[in-house]
Amino acid sequence: MFVRPSLRLDNVLSSTAGLSLVLALFCCPALAEETQDSQASDRLGNPYIPELKIGFLLHDVGRSFEDSNTLSINLELIWSDLEYWSFDSKFVEVLLNPVPMIGGTINTAGGVNTLYAGIAWPWEYDIGIVVTNSFGVSLNDGRAERDTFACPPTVQCPLSGNRDYVPVDEPVLGSNVLFRYGLDIGYQIDETHTISAYFSHISNAGLAEENNGINFVGIRYGVDLGYLFN
């Protein structure tokens, strides 16, 4: 019989996502203030044409389900050059200029596929490091709930009506619409290309009884289409 893991990585990561956002987005404000002027001239592309991210990710990393630790392909479009308002403070400028993004993951082993959208906060440093936090919603084609079956009269099962859950070897997500958090830490090779380490997590944040969640970890390559086609 399937037993849910005792270590609830989804709940741990959901509770720490806010802390990660603060640490990664707002760390080293003094450095960011000093480099604001030099960064303004670095992004020469068309801000209305997005950056394309292509990723190779470990799917459901750290779990022992059938499709855990398999390969997922990630495609994402992010309008990282958009800027609505300018401020003297880099902290305020990044906070009040979130940029749109949309993407998805395709699992190569027949596991859960996702489509997501949200907003992101890219923070650039003149040393070439770009830290991007993102938050939004994610659609998935995974299992939302577990089926049940009737137990024999001689067996006492835990669910009402003397029923029990059908064992499954896949995450039970609680919903096909989930919250999504992402963290991308990259290096800008030149005006057009970046490479980055990437983490994302999808779950229902404990709003449903079932909340296995899924974690993605991997590497991504980015190309600024706005710069190429400017």
Task: Decide yes or no: CATH 2.40.160.20 for domain 9-228.
Answer: yes
Nearest to 10 by CA among 155, 192, 203: 203
What pLDDT shows up at residue 46?
A: 84
What pLDDT shows up at residue 42?
A: 46
Q: How far apart are CA 208 and CA 145, in angstroms?
A: 10
Nearest to 35 by CA among 125, 130, 95, 131: 125
What pLDDT shows up at residue 27?
A: 44
SS (HEC) of 97-139: CCEEEEEEEEECCCCCCEEEEEEEEEEECCCCEEEEEEEEEEE
* pLDDT per residue of the chain (230 residues) written in tens, 0 to 9: 333 333 344 444 444 444 444 444 444 444 444 444 444 334 456 888 999 999 999 999 988 888 999 999 999 999 988 888 888 888 898 989 999 999 999 999 999 999 999 999 999 998 999 999 999 999 999 989 877 767 788 788 777 777 767 677 788 899 999 999 999 999 999 989 999 999 999 999 999 988 989 999 999 999 999 887 77
What pLDDT shows up at residue 18?
A: 47
What pLDDT shows up at residue 101?
A: 97
Q: How far apart are CA 122 and CA 222, in angstroms?
A: 13
Q: Are strands 177-188 and 129-140 parallel, antiparallel or unpaired?
A: antiparallel
What pLDDT shows up at residue 44?
A: 56
Q: How many residues are present in the chain?
A: 230
- CA 206, distance to chain mean position in Å, is 17
> Long-range CB contacts (< 8 A, 24+ apart) of 142-151?
142/111, 142/112, 142/170, 142/171, 142/173, 142/176, 142/214, 143/168, 143/170, 143/171, 143/172, 143/173, 144/172, 144/173, 144/174, 144/175, 144/176, 144/210, 145/172, 145/174, 145/210, 146/172, 146/210
CB 153: neighbour CB atoms within 10 A?
7
What pLDDT shows up at residue 149?
A: 65
